[in-house]
Amino acid sequence: MNGSKCRVCKKPAIIDLPRHNANFCGEHLLQLCRRQVEKAISDHDMLSKDDKILVAVSGGKDSLAVWDILVELGYKADGLYVGLGIGEYSDVSHDFTKEFAEARRLHLRTIDLRSEYGYDVPTAAKVTSRVPCSACGLSKRHLFDAAALAGGYDVVVTGHNLDDEAAVLFGNALRWDVEYLARQYPVLPARDGFPKKVKPLVRLTEREMAAWCIVRGIDYQVEECPMALGNKHLAYKEALNAIERESPGSKSAFYLNFVEKMSPILAGLNEAATGGLNNCSVCGAPTTAETCAFCRLQERVSGHDPVPVELVLSKKGRKAYLAARG
């Protein structure tokens, strides 16, 4: 940081944040992160101190940081880790998550897809011939929802940050997928048998969350998921980063202005689409079909021998995966 000083205390800075046009020391970076989380929680009525909270943790910086911040701010939050069976990537992610929880004596629950449901993400991708992110997202959503309801949790917290949400928004805006745009909001209220879901990190970037973890001494999985390498989401992030480099603050304006100005216009467009849900005949989860999408996936893909990660990577993903392994 070449001798630059913290905007707040004038001590040596450890990070520059161009969108705030300022530098920060470790202590005041943490303060900034805490305040942005508090603002997100209060702006969108996300959480109360009495809530029983379930944090969806992956072992990456964002989910460990949001769990850390919430506990530090005095919220009661347990963690849930889903073992996706993505080779060494999943093993290492699980280790970081366990270490974090044990060091802080936090309650962590683990669900393992392979041992409890008979499949893993690479195998599901291979058997269904679809991108791995599809089976992965479906499985995680279902298991977090079900665990929250079964465990009597008031709300599920996920670690989606500003970069994640801006990239998803960019993808939806590129296609003007009105239904998805109408649904993209930092809070989803509980309804129809689904738990309330909130994203307290929507005002903070990937880089800020990495800095949070470094300053707080949290070890996390730094690798991108090998399944995601080469996917469009990463290309959208890169396009937004190029704009952000030219005009610092563009990315947060893009996401936060959407939530403020556009969401109210789109609200209500999806209302006609809800209703008509019944309970899955297998697991009881809300669904529009006889059996829910998770149970249909499980029936189709469980019992197959595990497929190695390398076999289900995209061409681009494989190149990046092999390059990362030297």
Q: Is 246 in the site for its own copies (CB under 8 A)?
A: yes
CB 49 within 8 A of CB 75: yes
Q: Is 277 in the site for its own copies (CB under 8 A)?
A: no
Nearer to its own copies, 111 or 240 (CB): 240
What part of residues 52-71 is at the interface with its own copies (CB under 8 A)? none
Q: Least separation, in Å, of the C-beta of 178 and its own copies?
A: 5
Give the number of other CB atoms < 10 A from CB of residue 311: 11
Taking residues 130 to 169 in sequence order and writing x for each that binds its own copies by CB under 8 A, - otherwise, the string is ----------------------------------------
Specify the amino acid at residue 160: H
Q: For residues 73 and 50, give the distance between their C-alpha atoms in angstroms, rounded to a whole number.
A: 12
- DSSP-derived letter for residue 194 is B
Q: Is 238 in the site for its own copies (CB under 8 A)?
A: yes
Half-sphere exposure at residue 145, Cβ-oriented, CA atoms within 13 angstroms: 22
Nearer to its own copies, 265 or 289 (CB): 265
- Report CA torsion sign: 63, 66, 71, 72: positive
What part of residues 170-189 is at the interface with its own copies (CB under 8 A)? 173-176, 178
Nearer to its own copies, 102 or 238 (CB): 238
Considering only 253, 282, 283, 293, the residue that binds its own copies (CB under 8 A) is 253
Coil/strand/helix, residue 155 = strand
Q: Is 290 in the site for its own copies (CB under 8 A)?
A: no
Coil/strand/helix, residue 45 = coil
Stretch that binds its own copies, among 29-37, 184-192, 193-201, 230-238 (CB under 8 A): 230-238
Considering only 9, 222, 267, 269, the residue that binds its own copies (CB under 8 A) is 269
Q: For residues 63 and 75, give the distance between their C-alpha atoms in angstroms, rounded to a whole number.
A: 15
- Among 71, 265, 49, which residue's Cα sits nearest to residue 178? 265
CB 301 within 8 A of CB 84: no
Considering only 52, 232, 296, 304, the residue that binds its own copies (CB under 8 A) is 232
Host H or E run for residue 122: helix 121-128
Considering only 30, 262, 277, 283, the residue that binds its own copies (CB under 8 A) is 262
Residues that bind its own copies (CB under 8 A): 173-176, 178, 232, 235-236, 238-240, 242-243, 246-247, 250, 253-254, 257-258, 260-262, 265-266, 269
